[in-house]
C-alpha cells in the first residue's frame, strides 16, 4: 500500500511539472521574441484591399498585428495607430454610425464635438474626430473611419489630446490610406 502512495505522488508531481511547463515555456518564448519589427518603409497591407504608407521610422507591433487580415498596430512618433479593416454590407453611413457606437459602448470613449469630413490623397472619404473617455474630459485619442465600396478602415490613434495635435507624419499616413475598390 505504501508503494502505491509514492507512485501516486510521483505521478502527481509529473502532472504538476507538465502543467507548469505549459505555462512557463510560452512566456519564456514570448520574452525572447522582439515586440516590434524593423522600421517600415513599404506600403503595408491592412486587409480587405486597404493599404497604408506607414510613417517613416514606424514599427509594426508583432504581437497585435496581422497584416493582410484586417488588424494592424503601428508605433510611430510616440503614438499607437491601430488600424482595422473589414467588409460591410450596404451604405457606409450605418457602418460609420456603428463604429462610433462601438467606440462608445465597448471602449468607453465618446466623441468630443462633431466629426469632421476626411478625404485621403487617393480619394477615399470618411470622417475623423477627437475622443475622450466617459470618466474624464481629458483627450484620449483621434479616430478616423474611411469607406470605399463595401470596405471600411477604422484608425484609432492614441494617446493624443485631439485630432488637431496629431504628429504630421501620422496625419500624412492616415491621408495615404487607399482602399482598392472591387470591380
Spans of all domains in the chain = 1-33, 36-179
Q: Looking at residue 170, what is its pLDDT?
A: 96
Vertex 161 angle, CA 84 and 103, to 5°: 35
Q: Looking at residue 32, what is its pLDDT?
A: 52
Q: Looking at residue 5, what is its pLDDT?
A: 77
CATH number among 2.60.40.10, 3.20.20.10, 3.40.1000.10, 2.70.98.70, domain 36-179: 3.40.1000.10
Q: Looking at residue 104, what is its pLDDT?
A: 87
Q: Looking at residue 183, what is its pLDDT?
A: 56
Contacts 24+ apart (CB under 8 A), 109-112: 109/133, 109/134, 109/140, 109/141, 109/143, 110/134, 112/139, 112/162
Q: Looking at residue 38, what is its pLDDT?
A: 66
In this prediction, the residues of the chain whose per-residue pLDDT falls under 50 are: 33
Amino acid at each position: 500500500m505504501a508503494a502505491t502512495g509514492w507512485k501516486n505522488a510521483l505521478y502527481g508531481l509529473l502532472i504538476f511539472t507538465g502543467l507548469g511547463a505549459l505555462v512557463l515555456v510560452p512566456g519564456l518564448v514570448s520574452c525572447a521574441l522582439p515586440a516590434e519589427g524593423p522600421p517600415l518603409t513599404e506600403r503595408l497591407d491592412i486587409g480587405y484591399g486597404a493599404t497604408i504608407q506607414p510613417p517613416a521610422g514606424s514599427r509594426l507591433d508583432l504581437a497585435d498585428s496581422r497584416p493582410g487580415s484586417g488588424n494592424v498596430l503601428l508605433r510611430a512618433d510616440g503614438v499607437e495607430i491601430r488600424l482595422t479593416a473589414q467588409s460591410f454590407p450596404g451604405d457606409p453611413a450605418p457602418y460609420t454610425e456603428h463604429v462610433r457606437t462601438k467606440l462608445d459602448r465597448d471602449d468607453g470613449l465618446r466623441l468630443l464635438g462633431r466629426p469632421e469630413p476626411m478625404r485621403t490623397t487617393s480619394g477615399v472619404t470618411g470622417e475623423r474626430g477627437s475622443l475622450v473617455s466617459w470618466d474624464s474630459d481629458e483627450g484620449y485619442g483621434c479616430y478616423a473611419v474611411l469607406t470605399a465600396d463595401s470596405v471600411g478602415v477604422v484608425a484609432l490613434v492614441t494617446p493624443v489630446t485631439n485630432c488637431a495635435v496629431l504628429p504630421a507624419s501620422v496625419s500624412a499616413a492616415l491621408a495615404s490610406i487607399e482602399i482598392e475598390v472591387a470591380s
